[in-house]
């Protein structure tokens, strides 16, 4: 029997990936037309992550498509997306998509890392993981990215006192 998801912190009754943070890690070694990672963080419910390999030249439409393919189909539409002011996230097409789907978009203030500091910490974590595991073969980063995601999602989070995997699925893998 699964344990029901419990709301955490100051976000009462929030479901997984209902409030998400987004950022891009760019300029990785190019592998199969990918040189970047779209980082999606569940800000409120589980602190889980989704790492999506992509190309740094993606535009707002491509970013929206990646969100549909990797986030929305698994967790439904979020209520809120928080990101920096990257043109891929701040473009008119992305704002219009949000309006049509009822998603509130919040852009962080320039040089105010508290707004998306959580995403920056996750970025550092994945970069360290990839540096460690790809030290001898940098071109393997894309193949190992799902391991970095799994490692993050199965580790107990300091805020929730549970792993994101457990909070989402109701059991430990």
| DSSP strand pairing (19-25 vs 80-83) | parallel
Total residue count of the chain as it appears in this document: 173
Best CA proximity match to 108, nearest among 89, 84, 129: 84
CATH for 19-166 is: 3.30.420.10
Question: 161 is written with which tokens?
Answer: 């006192």
Quote the pTM value. Answer: 0.88
Q: How confident is the model at residue 116 (pLDDT cuts 50, 70, 90)?
A: low
Domain boundaries, the chain: 19-166
Question: 11 is written with which tokens?
Answer: 């976000």
pLDDT in tens, 17-65: 999 999 999 999 999 999 999 999 999 999 999 999 999 999 999 999 9
Cα end-to-end span (Å), the chain: 14
Q: How many CA atoms lie within 13 A of 105 on its CB side?
A: 21
DSSP 30: P
Report whether pLDDT(169) > 80: yes
Best CA proximity match to 142, nearest among 155, 119, 124, 126: 126
For 32, residues 6+ apart whose C-beta sits below 8 A from its C-beta are 142
CA pair distance 24, 3, nearest whole angstrom? 33
């Amino acid at each position: 029997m699964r344990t029901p998801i419990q709301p955490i912190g100051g976000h009462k009754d929030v479901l997984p990936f209902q409030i998400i943070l987004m950022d891009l890690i760019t300029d990785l070694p190019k592998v199969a037309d990918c040189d970047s990672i779209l980082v999606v963080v569940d800000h409120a419910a589980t602190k889980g992550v989704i790492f999506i390999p992509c190309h740094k030249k993606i535009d707002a439409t491509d970013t929206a498509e990646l969100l549909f393919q990797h986030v929305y189909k698994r967790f439904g539409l979020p209520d809120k997306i928080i990101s920096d002011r990257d043109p891929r996230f701040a473009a008119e097409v992305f704002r219009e998509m949000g309006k049509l789907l009822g998603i509130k978009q919040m852009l962080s203030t320039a040089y105010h890392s508290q707004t998306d500091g959580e995403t920056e910490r996750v970025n550092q974590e994945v970069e360290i993981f990839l540096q460690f595991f790809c030290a001898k073969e940098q071109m393997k980063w894309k193949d190992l990215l799902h391991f970095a995601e799994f490692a993050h999602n199965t580790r107990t989070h300091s805020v929730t006192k549970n792993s994101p995997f457990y909070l989402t699925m109701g059991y430990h893998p």
